[in-house]
Structure 1
Amino acid sequence: MAGEFETVEVGEGFTTSGRTITEADVVNFAGVSGDFNHLHTNAERMADSGYGERIAHGALVFSVVTGLLWQARDEAEKRHMVAFYGIDRLRFIKPVFLGDTVHVEAEIVDKERRDHPVATGVVRTEVTALNQADEAVFSAEFLTLRR
């Protein structure tokens, strides 16, 4: 992936490594966020639900996606990232269960020059997270400010 805004090309894409969502992830996220909803924390109650088991917090999945994206970027690209600017069209398509492994496929779909004090423009990236069965579980468009 290119680093500087000027060298970013629409159509560039990459795939991240995978990460398994663990019990510890869900417990720690519940503690940090204060979200102890039974969907995430009550195995007995969820056994009788339509899901049949606990599901990961959507916000946890989002956080894992952002982490995977950051880890996949090279140092040149990281140096030219100014800020995470926003999210469009965020969807949690399917539940992510404890033990699922997700990876991310990303493609740059647009870039727009901006008059900004520390950035040259905004890069729009289409992001899809897939589980171990290659089923889409999350999608969004991420916007980043770049130099």
Structure 2
Amino acid sequence: MLTLLSLLALLPSFSHPSANPAKVTLTVDVQNIRIQKGAVYVALHKPSEGFPDSKPFEGKKIDASGKSVRTTFSVEPGTYAVAVYHDENGNGKMDKKMFGIPKEPYGFSNNFRPKFSAPKFGDCQFTLGEGGKEISIKLE
């Protein structure tokens, strides 16, 4: 019996495939950058109540050096939403007008355009499968 346990201990340990899912690539292409200065902030969110103001799962800051920018995330397949804004003046925050209306260009996955309030996660959600995905967001 002790010999059998010793042999089992020598076998390599294999993790169950679902215990550590493979990561896939999400490519986000941000279009319609009007001013080539400042930075574009891309926030990747998992499902949450506070979207888009909640803390993102992952975020990127990209110099606004062209009419479009592109970035990638390496994440597990699942349901996500993306919120983007162009910090044109480089002050590190989304400038807003009265009543919280953004002064700077912004956009969301699915190119969802909110009318009177911030979008809900469900408005902007998409599924990232095992083959990865590329999405395009047009700033307004």
Higher helix share goes to which structure? 1
Give TM-score scaled by structure 1 length. 0.24
Give TM-score scaled by structure 2 length. 0.25
Higher-Rg member (1/2): 2
